[in-house]
Structure formats: structure tokens, C-alpha cells
Amino acid sequence: MPKNKKPAGGRAQNFEPRYGKKTSYQDAKRRPGQASAGTAGSKSPKHRGFRAAEDSAPAKGRWTEQDRAGRAEARGIRSHARGDRAAGGERPRFDRAGGAERPRFDRAGGERPRFDRAGGERPRFDRARGNDRGDFDRRGPRGADSRRDGQDVRGYGRPERDDRARFDRTERPRFDRADRGNDRGDSDRRAPRDAGNGRDAREFRGTGRTERPRFDRADRTARSFDDRPRRDDRPRRDERANRSDWNAAEKSKAHQEHVDVVHERLQAEAVDAASVEQASFADLGLGQNIVRTLEGLGATSPFPIQAATVRPILEGRDVLARGRTGSGKTIAFGAPLVERVLRGQAGKRRAWGRSPQALILAPTRELALQIDRTVQELAQSVGLFTTQVYGGVPQGRQVGALKKGVDIVIGTPGRIEDLEKQGKLDLSEVGIVVLDEADHMSELGFLEPMQRILRLVQDDAQKLLFSATLDREVAALVDEFLVDPAVYEVAGETQETSTIDHRVLVIDHRDKAEILTSLVDRDGKTLVFTRTRAYSEMLVEQFEDAGIAAVALHGDLNQAKRTRNLQRLTDGKVNVLVATDVAARGIHVDDIDLVVQADAPDEYKTYTHRSGRTGRAGRAGTVVTLITRQRRRRMTEMLERAEIDAPFDEARIGDDVLEEITGRQAANVDA
């Protein structure tokens, strides 16, 4: 029954682990997820990330280590493609003149590429001449030695970065919450000027790898669609066979073993907030209308991930980007995508029945809807049209919109394939594809539909892969569909620069129901995650019985209920949403300040994404995970992989710690 509202307990407690000791990787000065003997996830010979001694045996060639990593991480695809290239000696050429068929993206433009042709020729990156690893995969050998030689443990391997991101948790300053929002470039639209003092202003240059294309303004060159290599110049599909077999086998093995697969971290250009904060959206190359619309959306100056990706996307590059949850990824791909479609459509907009030029794919319908809300505004401002294509609703409206002609399709894989097969959605002119939550879209069940869809768009369509947990799990897609992708992440995105407090409550199972009720009995918006649909329904009932209005969100509900229930939380008509992992990724509700994990997640990525429903765009939030005693070890290991340091508290019904969690949040909301 309604209780709590106790004002904040001592703040300091929130940052002082009172349970357990520091996690092992802190002591070891090593990042979780690093492949090594001591790494969680690679200790067991049964684990996919496990590297036995013989693993580092005979060097076979310069890309052998990568090859090996690829086999473990990408189920062999990547190595295949590499092998072909290496054997061929030279990277496939894409000779524009010789091309029998021009990409259809430029169909209306006569002989000239229409899509961003101002910049002239695209620079050629000859992989065979030394950049044999590409941007996607240039991490050094993963042998035990590479960790100990003083290099950045994260694998940047660039000595000049030592002044900045050491990722050495024990040495990093801790920030009080009061300071937050002032020291983060992305926490505040006011873009603090003092951010990152003492760091090098480092733009998008590939330090230490001279062969990487640079993105200084001066020597930046634009690339048209025509300049892009055609996919049939790449290794043929039959030569890359049995990918699916690999996937299925590896995945099912992982499932059988209940292994939380830790993929190798993607190597990325770390974009320093301080180095990009000067640029405005207009500076980055976006047009007036879009810039104005962004302002209307509350985006007056670019967040770091946006500052990083807008330019390369406008240049036509394939881009992989990792930015923490709530860091503004939708705009990071949405704005340049609209700009680019606009440029490619000059003079031929609004033709009846025109086929879409861009496709944005999301793993859930709610996320597709949400992306559309942002992208549609941007598109409208320049006279472009978007439509959603997702399942669970009658297809009539979607088909009707497509008949009239749309420029940008946003949707989920199933319905998109369905309409395409019915001949009601023509993907052949799609020149830009975005995969939001790309790592998730590369998982079993999603990967093959994604591959089928990507084969339907233009061979040389630009691909943009975004996720807060982007890792090498996307390798299967990258190898087949991306060309020389640029990889970005935002520097310094660590727990210390986050606005999320993490707590773990160790409870008795018999207390669980009552503790859950007391946690959601509060003023702010609370999102509760369960492992199963049934349990989420059960909890809703339980909360309602306790007089707390709550709604559920899971895949057993029809789409109308799903949409309505989420809306009710957004509108504030209820304060409690109980959801399965359908709501784990991407969903943005402005002011969720407490996430309760009624069931602990099994995977660290799930932890990251669920947690990311709070603490968005620099706002404060708390994540509480309930576990029983016997799960402590597993929880500790998962937190290590998620790179989260959270205090464990024993809790019983009515304990102060519960009041502290709920009461403090209520106080924050008032503030």
C-alpha cells in the first residue's frame, strides 16, 4: 500500500559500494570483455571467446590474427572475404566508366551521378596496399602480450592517446552528480566550453595508421553513389558460403551453454567531445530547414556522436557508430540521411508512386515508430515523405502510402519483406540503409532477414550501423555489405560520465513480490523489466491489486495495446510500465527515473540497454536489479562485462534501502 516518499537518504551512499569488493577487472586494470585468460567470458574452454595457448601459435600472415579473431567473432565470414582479397592481391576496382549498369539511384540524372557529386572523385582506399585490415578491424593481435605492453587496454593501441582515455577505472576521477551535466559534452545542449580540458583536440584523423582516410575539412572529398564499389566486385556470395551454418551452430551452442557471448570490441575512432563541440549542425553540412527542425526538436548543437557521424554520412561513407544509450543516435543518422536523400532527389521530388530512396530498420515496432517521429519531422521540413512499414497492423495504410510514393521507409524486417514479396514495396532504388541496434539485428533470427533485405537494395547502397553496444557481432553484415566503413565512438563514455546510478538488491525470493511493489510505489516513472511475457502480466496484476496503476508491454499484446500502453507511460497516465525486453532497446520516454529489473538480464548487452531507458540525454536515473543470493556471482560477472560498478545491498521487506531508492528519486523529480 502506498507508502514511501521518504526524502533522499545520504547521497554518498549511492557511490560507495557497501557490498562486496571491487570487481576483478578494476584490480587487474583491464577492461571486461577483453579476450584474455583472465577475462570473464573467456575462461572456460567451452566459451567462444576462449583462447587456448595454441591459439597464438604460428603466424601465417599479416592478417592472420585478424582472421582468427574473425573466425571466433564473426563465424568465419570475415576471414573468407579477406582471404579472397589477399589472394587477389588487389582490392577490387570499381571503374565507373566500365560499369555496364549504373546504380539505379541516379536514374533520373542522365549520365551524371546526382547524389552528392559536388566533391568529385571518391578517394580510393587500396586495401591490398597495406590497409589490409580496413577500419573495421584493425585491432592488434589478441595474444596475452598485447595487453601488457602498456597499450591502451581498450585496444586503441595509439600511444598518443595515453593522455586521454586510459579506461583505467581506478585512476579516473569520480564525478559527483552535482558536477554532471557540466563536464559532459553530451549532457547538456549548452555544450560546455570547458569540456575535455587537457585533452588533445583531435579530429577524425586516424592516428597511427597513415593509410586511413582522413577527414580534415581540407582534404575531404565527397563520394557519389557511382563511385562506390559494386557489391559484385566483392567476393562472391557462393565463395562465402555456409555463413548461416556457422551462425546457427555457434549460436545454438552458445544458447545451450547459457553463455553470454562477449564479442570483441570494435575498433573505432574515438571522437573527443572537446574536438567537435565547436561545429554547429550547419557547419557539419546540413541544410537550413533541417537545422531549423533540429532546433525545434531541441537539438540546437550537435551531441558528440552527431558531430562525429554527420559529415562522413553526408560524404557517402558506410559508417558504424557506437554511442551510449540516450546520446542522440537517431538524429546522428536521421539528419544526414534526410539531407542526403534530398540532395539525391533534386528536381524530382514528389513524383507519384516513386520508390523509396532510404530504408531505416529497427528491431521492434515501437522503435520504428519512434524513429519515424523524428525522421518524419526532418523529412517534412524539406518536402520528403516517410512511412512506417511494420507488422501487427493492417497493411492497407502502409501500402496506400507506398503507392503515393515515399522517400524514406522506416520499419521492422518482417513486414518490409512481406510487402516487398507482394510487390508493394520496391527496394531497388534504396541508396541508404540504416540498421538501428545493429548488433541486435545481427543476432540469430534477425540476421538472415537482414541479409535478404540488404540484398534487395542497391548493390552499392550506403550502410549505416548504429548501436550503443556495437561490437563485432555485426561482422557478418559488415563483411558482406559494407565497404571500407568508418567506425566511430565517443571518447570517455564510461560509468563515471554517465548519469545512471546502478544498484543491486540481494533479496530472498519470498520477499520479491512485496519488494517490487514497494519499489514501484512512487511518484516518478518506473520501468520494470521481466524475463517473460507471463511474468510481466503477473506483475501488472500484482501492482494493480496494490493500488498502483500499471500497464504491460510485451509481444503477446496486440499492437494496439502495445502502442497504447507505451503511450500511457509517455503521457503520464500511468507511472509504471512492466515490459519484456521488447522495451529494452531504443525506446525513449523522457523522464523514466527508475528502472527495476525484476529478473536480472542474462546478457551484459541487455543490462546496458535496459539501463539505458533511464538517464537519457544527461538526466539522472537509477537502475535497480533484484537478485537472489545464488545469483550474486553471475551478476558480478555480468556487471563486469557491462563495465558497471554497482553496490550490492542485502534487502528485506521494509528496509531503508528501498525507501532510499524510491524516495531519492521522488526528490530528484521535484528538483
**Chain contacts with DNA (rule: CB under 7 A):** 254-255, 258, 363-366, 390-393, 395, 411-418, 421, 443-446, 449, 531-534, 554-556, 580-582, 602-603
Cell numbers 537478485 correspond to: 627
Of the pair 554, 616, the CB lying nearest DNA is at 554
> In the bound complex, what is the minimum distance in angstroms from residue 362's beta carbon to DNA?
8
Question: Is 655 strand, coil or helix?
Answer: coil
Are 353 and 153 within 8 A, CB to CB?
A: no
Of the pair 362, 483, the CB lying nearest DNA is at 362
Of the pair 21, 258, the CB lying nearest DNA is at 258
Of the pair 349, 424, the CB lying nearest DNA is at 424
> In the bound complex, what is the minimum distance in angstroms from residue 572's beta carbon to DNA?
23
> In the bound complex, what is the minimum distance in angstroms from residue 198's beta carbon to DNA?
42
3-state per-residue secondary structure call for 110-170: CCCCCCCCCCCCCCCCCHHHCCCCCCCCCCCCCCCHHHHCCCCCCCCCCHHHCCCCCCCHH
> In the bound complex, what is the minimum distance in angstroms from residue 182's beta carbon to DNA?
38
Separation of alpha carbons 284 and 304, rounded Å: 12
Output phi, psi for 429, to 5 deg.
Answer: -105, 5
Are 658 and 518 within 8 A, CB to CB?
A: yes
Of the pair 4, 395, the CB lying nearest DNA is at 395
Separation of alpha carbons 263 and 33, rounded Å: 7
> In the bound complex, what is the minimum distance in angstroms from residue 413's beta carbon to DNA?
5
Of the pair 237, 421, the CB lying nearest DNA is at 421
Of the pair 316, 363, the CB lying nearest DNA is at 363
For 42, 59, 464, 470, the CA distances from 632, given in Å and listed in that order, are 19, 41, 38, 27
Of the pair 138, 263, the CB lying nearest DNA is at 263
Question: Is 92 strand, coil or helix?
Answer: coil
Separation of alpha carbons 228 and 593, rounded Å: 45
Numbers of helices and strands, H then E, in the chain = 21, 15
> In the bound complex, what is the minimum distance in angstroms from residue 411's beta carbon to DNA?
6
Separation of alpha carbons 294 and 377, rounded Å: 9
User: Which DSSP symbol is given to 264?
Assistant: P
CA-based radius of gyration for the chain: 24
> In the bound complex, what is the minimum distance in angstroms from residue 630's beta carbon to DNA?
17
> In the bound complex, what is the minimum distance in angstroms from residue 1's beta carbon to DNA?
29
Helices (H), 381-488: 396-404, 413-421, 438-441, 447-456, 475-481
Of the pair 70, 363, the CB lying nearest DNA is at 363
Question: Is 19 strand, coil or helix?
Answer: coil
> In the bound complex, what is the minimum distance in angstroms from residue 75's beta carbon to DNA?
15
